[in-house]
Amino acid sequence: MDLIKKIKKFPFVLAPMAGYTDYPFRILAREYGASLVFTEMVSVYSVIHHREKVSKILYFTKKEKPIGVQLFGNNSLLFYEAAKICVSLGFDLIDINFGCPANKVVRTKAGAYLHKDLKAVEETIKNTVKGAGKIPVSIKMRSGWDDNNKNFLDIAKIAEQNGVKIITLHPRTRLQMFKGKSNWEHIKKLKEHSKLFIIGNGDVTDRESAYKMLNETSCDAVMIGRAAIGNPFIFKEIKDKSYSPTFNEKINIAIKHLKLLYKFKGKRGIMEMRKYYSKYIKSIKDASEIRKKLVIEDDVEKITGMLKELKNN
């Protein structure tokens, strides 16, 4: 499979993250070497009935390819039509979210809730694979609902029997959310029991931990999420042991990120950029005070000027 061949060349991919992995973020991740990127998760209902409303989530360019779209929902039948639409839009991979632990998602019986309903998991996979046609389907899941209900191997078996090509495992339970340590032994166990392409995810924060996951679990690739926020450099750091971004480079990328967001989302983009400043400038003296000044400004040129003034600091 061409997509898997591409990932194997540099087996480090960007995780789908709600509120983060939009077009500007993905562009930067690809520039710094991520072999695969994903959209933010998007509901199958919205893809079918409110395409205009989620057009920003579904937007991508050739520069980002290969790119996957991550779908979630509680109606397995809708995954068929949503997958067909996503194929027509040109996505390279259709990913099913069985792992989101957020209350607002779980309350609708979507995301990680589906660890409690394996029949729904099976129907969702079947419909997605059918709708995707020749485009590969992946799933992203957790270890299980709680410590007494760890069913990732059961879901993997269902996935393998019904045409899924890639599995990403975040080895925490839903009740853990993002607390405690992820259990990499579950990734290792999954790799031992499944013939599919396995991507590990969880607690990868730098080059050392990325390769540690590969080596300890024998997974085929590593997915990086929170550690890449405001830090697209992590992919280049993993690839090149001698590379370390200078502060000036971080500022240049922060400016590029800001301008991409502004061009893509207008004033809303300026507001969304505020959550990234602390990441880009954290190594500088008085970073907290500087961030406070940046987040109250809403003029893109003024912010650009403020960021430029930090260079060579």
In the set 100, 141, 156, 169, the catalytic residue is 100
Query: What burial letters (b/e) apply to 187-209, b meaning 16+ CB within 10 Å?
Result: bbbbbeebebbbbbbbbbeebeb
Calpha distance 268→299 (Å, rounded):
11
Q: Which neighbouring-strand residues pair with 197?
A: 166
Backbone dihedral angles phi then psi of residue 279, each to the nearest 5 degrees: -70, -45
Cα-trace Rg, the chain: 19
Residue pair 121/158 in contact (Cβ under 8 Å)? The answer is yes
Backbone dihedral angles phi then psi of residue 114, each to the nearest 5 degrees: -65, -10
Whether 86 is catalytic: no
Calpha distance 202→151 (Å, rounded):
18
Residue pair 270/298 in contact (Cβ under 8 Å)? The answer is yes
- CA 310 centroid distance within chain: 30
Q: Which residues are catalytic?
A: 100
